[in-house]
Structure 1
Amino acid sequence: MKSFSVLTATFAVSLLALSAWSCAQAPHQTLTFDEATIEMGGKAYQLEYANTQEQRAMGLMFREQMCADCGMLFKFEPAKQASMWMKNTFIPLDVAFIDRNGVITDIKPLNPQELKSVGASKVVTYALEMNRGWFAEHDIHVGDQIIVNP
């Protein structure tokens, strides 16, 4: 009877360990993102599109690099005074907050692993994360218009 109890306890501990391990692995699993095309500064860009809660929560987490003209467009429905943080995000980014008319309301830097939220100054429909310095390099500024084609 004692060996049965030890075997049962060992099995239970093994299941718990396996469960904990799989939960720890879950954040690193790949999530599929939609794509959207945006036009700004006279050019079109194909970007990853985070339009579900799960996609917005994952964002660019766990990425170690991003190509020069790659980025992620986040959609907020309903529109809100959105904010972003950089938990588990390793790439320095800039975020442009965009209102319902496609006008950039703010461009702000986001530092890797920063847990402090960085927010829009107004109610916005979109946020666009690009590599740090991308907006300045492409002469894109607050007040510029972006056309979104999801």
Structure 2
Amino acid sequence: MQNKFFRVLCLASCGLWSTLPTLAQDQPQHLRSVQLTAGMHLIQAEVASSFEERQIGLMNRRSMPVGAGMLFVFEEANPQCFWMKNTLIPLSIAFVADDGTVVNVADMQAMSEVSHCSGKPVRYALEMNQGWFAKRGIKPGFKMSGGPWPK
């Protein structure tokens, strides 16, 4: 009788534990942030630097404040590609070189699996609400500062 109870308890708890990663991915992540500057515009960007943080990104958020974004930091410069699976808000992404120069900008539609890639190898990508870069005249060649980039 005790063995049967233990097996039922183990199965119940093992079943619960196996759903925890799924539950965690259904919630937006909130990461440490840094202040970035794009000309006279201030950005408060959460920093996604681990594989897991980058993988979740801005998934499952229903909104984002105007001056907020997410900075994706990679270990080395490579061609970087992003898609919007499970991302509920439309975003624009700027791929940024080591010196803070914007390489290219792309608009991305919510819930899309279409890839948007950097024009050359980069270590940084900055996601903001869709249209944020265009409204401020930020395009390839523009220099960002703060965070990992020179002032």
Gaps of 5+ in 1: none
**Identity in percent:** 32
User: Which entry has the higher C-alpha Rg, 1 or 2?
Assistant: 1
The correspondence for 2:33, drawn from 25, 32, 35, is: 35
1:60 alignment partner in structure 2: 58
CA deviation string 1:26-65 (max 9, x = no partner): 2135644121121112233221111222221221111110
1:95 alignment partner in structure 2: 93
Aligned length: 148
Gaps of 5+ in 2: none
In structure 2, distance between residues paired with 1:50 and 1:23: 18
Q: TM-score, normalised by structure 2?
A: 0.84
SS at match of 2:123: strand
In structure 1, distance between residues paired with 2:147 and 2:2: 63
In structure 2, distance between residues paired with 1:43 and 1:24: 37
Partners of 2:69 and 2:128 within 8 A in 1: yes
Aligned AA for 2:98? R
In structure 2, distance between residues paired with 1:59 and 1:120: 17
In structure 1, distance between residues paired with 2:40 and 2:13: 56
Deviation of 1:136 (Å):
1.1
Aligned AA for 1:84? F
